[in-house]
């Protein structure tokens, strides 16, 4: 399941219910005990209860709540949240619950040697923050049985995968090793495949020259027939399908200007006076900034981005922005709000009227949406192509500063790589929120951690942040 249905079941109980064997035994134990207490026993209940208690002991049923609680805590559910009903959670948290249920339901028995296949929900890291992803990676590395996962998170696959199954051209190819090894081996396989194809083509052409030369020569008729049969018996090799390269280019034809560019000084903010999101927050960025913001879900990352953009006003403190600052903002809802019934060209024309079709096509072409793709209804485009249309729309006004909220969500690997390259070439400033470790390492030069109503700069970058989180896991007993 991708998302747990919302009802009155507490989160912890929702996870425990996934162990159907334990739940069935406990239910039968309650029924038999009630029957005996009511004086309706038939004399066989005692023996059956003894069997049930033995089975419950074998599966360590009494330890199940603690095991479920550890999984939930690792995925970000504190003690209070574990007692909340599933209907109280947002879609993102219900997806985390689905992941917790999958982990608990397929937990290898502590005392029974059984082969268990764990099928994780598709793209399990999409709705997780960096902390939860790191916990999941570490947790799965000690898993004693088979795991099957679909993911575009390269770092997660490198941490967890021992084998890669590659689906392409209506076939499945298997590779031993992690994702980086898969990429190297696949590239070598493709080179060998292309060499074999080219060698065979040369051989075919050589034979065909002989056939064409002596086709009507009676003295060579038997040789020609032999060559024709040889051609027929040759296996049909195919050339390597060249994967189309994803292209992105952020326009940066703007004049540089001197700092300060964007600042928050001693900013306070709350939605409700009883709960401050930020107290005395002071941060700054300029046109050379490459900043990534990390932190647990609900820590205020998206709120801070909106304060930086001026969409939300501080209740205390000051936001400073240079008069020439032009911000481009992207979040997943920009993709969700695209008009699906019109083409990408029409979409840009409605949003930015007064330009020629050639200009709209050129803008879309900078993001790999060219030719027939530009005039097809947006609904017919793939998820990655829709995201590229949203990026083309965001960059059309030529911003000099980008604020990006989880820009890699639902992007394929090729598009993520292209986005990182485009951002690295961009001459303006960047602040982004992301949970994708590889993307963060490719783009960002500064790491901010959002927690405890403030933002802290981590001098040691992502490596130091990982060490901090792992130490927290050890102290809190989440592993």
DSSP string for residues in 90-127: -HHHHHHHHHHHHHHHTPPPSS-----EEEPPSSTTTT
Cβ-in-10-Å burial (0-12, 13-18, 19+) of 426 comes to buried
| 11-19+59-169 CATH fold | Rossmann fold (3.40.50)
Q: What pLDDT is stored for residue 113 in this prediction?
A: 46
Q: Assess whether pLDDT exceeds 50 at residue 9.
A: yes
Q: What pLDDT is stored for residue 410 in this prediction?
A: 76
Same topology, domains 11-19+59-169 and 262-340+396-476? Answer is: yes
Token output for 80: 């209070």
Query: Using one digit for the tens of pLDDT, what is the confidence trace for 376-418?
Result: 999 999 888 898 999 999 999 999 999 999 999 878 888 899 9
Region 108-113 average pLDDT: 50
Domain residue spans in the chain? 11-19+59-169, 180-233, 262-340+396-476
Q: Report the C-alpha gap between 352 and 373 in whole angstroms.
A: 19
Full-model pTM: 0.83
Query: Using one digit for the tens of pLDDT, what is the confidence trace for 347-370?
Result: 999 999 999 999 999 999 989 899
CATH of segment(s) 262-340+396-476? 3.40.50.300
Are the C-beta atoms of 91 and 5 separated by less than 8 Å? no
Residues 6+ apart with CB under 8 A from 40: none
Q: What pLDDT is stored for residue 112 in this prediction?
A: 47
What element of type H or E holds 390?
A: helix 383-395
Q: What pLDDT is stored for residue 479 in this prediction?
A: 66
Q: Report the C-alpha gap between 434 and 287 in whole angstroms.
A: 20
């Amino acid at each position: 399941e991708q998302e747990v249905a919302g009802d009155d079941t507490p989160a912890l109980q929702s996870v425990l219910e996934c162990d159907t064997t334990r739940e069935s035994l406990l239910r039968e134990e309650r029924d038999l005990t009630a029957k005996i207490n009511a004086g309706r026993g038939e004399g066989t209940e005692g023996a059956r209860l003894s069997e049930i208690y033995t089975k419950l002991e074998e599966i360590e049923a009494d330890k199940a709540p603690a095991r479920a609680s550890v999984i939930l805590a690792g995925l970000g559910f504190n003690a209070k949240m574990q007692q909340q009903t599933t209907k109280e959670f947002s879609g993102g948290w219900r997806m985390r619950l689905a992941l917790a249920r999958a982990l608990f339901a397929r937990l290898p028995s502590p005392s029974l040697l059984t082969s268990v296949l764990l099928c994780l929900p598709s793209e399990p890291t999409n709705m997780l923050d960096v902390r939860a992803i790191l916990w999941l990676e570490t947790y799965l590395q000690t898993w004693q049985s088979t795991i099957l996962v679909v993911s575009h998170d390269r770092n997660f696959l490198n941490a967890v995968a021992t084998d890669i199954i590659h689906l392409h051209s209506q076939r499945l190819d298997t590779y031993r090793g992690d994702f980086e090894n898969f990429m190297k081996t696949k590239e070598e396989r493709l080179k060998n495949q292309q060499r074999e194809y080219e060698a065979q083509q040369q051989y075919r052409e050589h034979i065909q020259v002989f056939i064409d030369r002596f086709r009507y020569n009676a003295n060579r008729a038997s040789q020609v027939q032999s060559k024709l049969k040889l051609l027929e018996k040759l296996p049909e090799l195919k050339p390597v399908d060249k994967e189309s390269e994803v292209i992105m280019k952020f326009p940066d034809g703007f004049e540089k200007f001197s700092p300060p560019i964007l600042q928050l000084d001693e900013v306070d903010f709350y939605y409700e006076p009883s709960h401050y999101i930020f107290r005395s927050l002071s941060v700054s960025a300029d046109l050379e900034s490459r900043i990534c913001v990390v932190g647990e879900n609900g820590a205020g990352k998206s709120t801070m981005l909106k304060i930086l953009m001026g969409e939300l006003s501080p209740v205390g403190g000051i936001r400073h922005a240079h008069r020439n600052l032009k911000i481009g903002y992207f979040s997943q809802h920009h993709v969700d709000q695209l008009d699906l019934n019109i083409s990408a060209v029409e979409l840009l024309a409605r949003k930015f009227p007064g330009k020629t079709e050639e200009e709209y096509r050129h803008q879309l072409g900078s993001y790999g949406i060219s030719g027939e793709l530009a005039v097809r209804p947006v609904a017919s485009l793939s998820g990655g192509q829709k995201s590229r249309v949203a990026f083309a729309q965001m960059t059309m006004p030529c911003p000099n500063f980008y604020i990006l909220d989880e820009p890699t969500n639902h992007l394929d690997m090729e598009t993520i790589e292209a986005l990182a390259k485009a951002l690295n070439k961009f001459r303006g400033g960047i602040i982004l929120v992301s949970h994708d470790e590889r993307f963060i390492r490719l783009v960002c030069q500064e790491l901010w951690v959002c927690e405890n109503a403030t933002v802290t700069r981590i001098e040691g970058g992502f490596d130091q942040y990982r060490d901090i989180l792992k130490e927290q896991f050890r102290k809190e007993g989440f592993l």
